[in-house]
Amino acid sequence: MSTPTKTHPELSAVFNKDEQRVNWHDETLWWIRQKRDKSAHSIPEWEILREKASQIKNNALANLAEYLVSFEEKAKANGIIVHWAADAQEHNQIVHQILQKHGILQLVKSKSMLTEECHLNEYLEKQGLEVIDSDLGERIVQLAKEPPSHIVLPCIHKKKEEIGDLFHQHLGVAAGTSDPQILTEAARVHLRETFLTRKAALTGVNFAIAETGEFVVCTNEGNADMGAHLADVHIACMGIEKIIPKRKHLGVFLRLLARSATGQPITTYSSHFKKPRAGQEMHLVLVDNGRTVQMGREDFRASLKCIRCGACMNTCPVYRRSGGHSYHNAISGPIGAILAPNLDREKYADLPFASTLCGSCSNVCPVKIDIHQQLYKWRQVIVQEGYATSSKKMSMKIMNYTLSSPGIYRTAGKAGRWVLKYIPFAVNNHFNPWYKQRDMPEVPKESFGEWYKKNVK
């Protein structure tokens, strides 16, 4: 059973103590959401692309076993050494064994949410190995000893002044430096030495093509290419759901991915890896870690279609105002809230409730995952299986009783309006978390039902 941890409301309260940071975080992510909209609207066939991507992913998941076998066969024929890992522990052990075989104690790693999910860095560090994340955002949170707060923008919660302090402490930048240009140049010098001296590089995988046995890594900084091309050993790690059937399908996803993530037409580098260069060893680790269990849950299977663009986070009003760390999971935001309960329903029972169910996440999802519907279904599963808190179970029972009876519903509505008008302190107090960050609403003179009866014949 999992170790109890702080819940989303508790961690959100910590983030919300700094109102200026909350406002800035909210506005920055909304600005990225607006860039996504502008980019998407510039393509007349945008909705056709989303539908195609959704159907390709449906096909890939429905025939996953066949595509994985085909991919493995082609990859081996290309000279790639293929490994299978049932869970995070086995994945970490496989990576460690590869490094041990070559006597390598230092690893350069590009961004990989799978390795965050498997806690690879912590595992390797316990074995005495050094891991350096080469994505700039990931390197910043690594220096801060924090997990990424966003799957595309790992340090979006940090201000440039805080990054300057970190670089002063770890990279020798002058104290008080906060110029992004100077900080980026310092990181480039630091990472260049890392690329040149590491014998092993680990990358993630955005797409794996069953038809050819090749895989594709998308980055904006070129760090995956630098690491993989200079190292003697290249290890790529991927969840088994990253398979797509054919190379011709790749264009659909590449057009959607960056536009959905940051509003760019395409990622700066979309690198294809098909075989090791002469003298190099290339390994690929295919990881299950609960994915086949999720495949067996019909209501939640579509969550495996995710291409990790982060669009659902950028648009989510709860994520924007509570921060990524409040989700206490490698993948945060709405998509993380439907993936995490599959791994541990007790530990992540709070996450499906971290949503207004407004549906904005589903509207921007490039592969049409019904995220808000799955959040709603997870709530039902969690309550039915007894993982909800006693107060939440009681409130759900009261709501169920009230909403099931028109007479009680009308009476409760009238009582609620009277209380809000004459004794508002009865609900607007520190015992009611709903009002912690909200203003009191104006009390309506009548209910919608009463207005409807008077005005609509």
CATH number at residue 188: 3.40.50.10420
Instruction: Tell me the average pLDDT of the chain.
Output: 94
For residue 335, count CB atoms less than 10 angstroms from its CB and return exposed for 0-12, middle for 13-18, buried for 19 or more: buried
User: Based on the domain organization, do 285 and 412 belong to the same domain?
Assistant: no
For residue 197, count CB atoms less than 10 angstroms from its CB and return exposed for 0-12, middle for 13-18, buried for 19 or more: exposed
Separation CA 414–CA 71 (nearest Å):
63
**Residue 319 clears pLDDT 80, i.e. is over it:** yes
Answer yes or no: is 309 within a domain: no
Instruction: Give the count of domains, the chain.
Output: 2
Q: In angstroms, how far is CA 372 from the centroid of its own chain?
A: 15
**pLDDT value of residue 440:** 73
Answer yes or no: is 96 within a domain: yes
Separation CA 6–CA 326 (nearest Å):
9
Residue range 216-222: average pLDDT? 94
Residue range 408-423: average pLDDT? 90
Partnered with residue 208 across adjacent β-strands are 215, 243
**Domain termination site, one of 263, 289, 315:** 289
Distant-in-sequence, close-in-space partners of 203: CB < 8 Å, separation ≥ 6: 109, 110, 112, 217, 224, 227, 228, 234, 235, 236, 237, 273
H helices then E strands: how many in the chain? Answer: 21, 10
**Domain termination site, one of 223, 256, 289:** 289
pLDDT band at 1 (very low <50, low <70, confident <90, very high): very low
**Domain termination site, one of 289, 307, 334:** 289
**pLDDT value of residue 348:** 96
Structural domain harbouring 412 = 404-455
DSSP 193: H
DSSP 220: S
Answer yes or no: is 134 within a domain: yes
User: Based on the domain organization, do 278 and 414 belong to the same domain?
Assistant: no
**pLDDT, tens digit, for every residue of 278-290?**
999 999 999 999 9
**pLDDT value of residue 2:** 44
Answer yes or no: is 178 within a domain: yes
**pLDDT value of residue 190:** 93
User: Based on the domain organization, do 162 and 285 belong to the same domain?
Assistant: yes
**Residue 438 clears pLDDT 80, i.e. is over it:** no
Answer yes or no: is 118 within a domain: yes
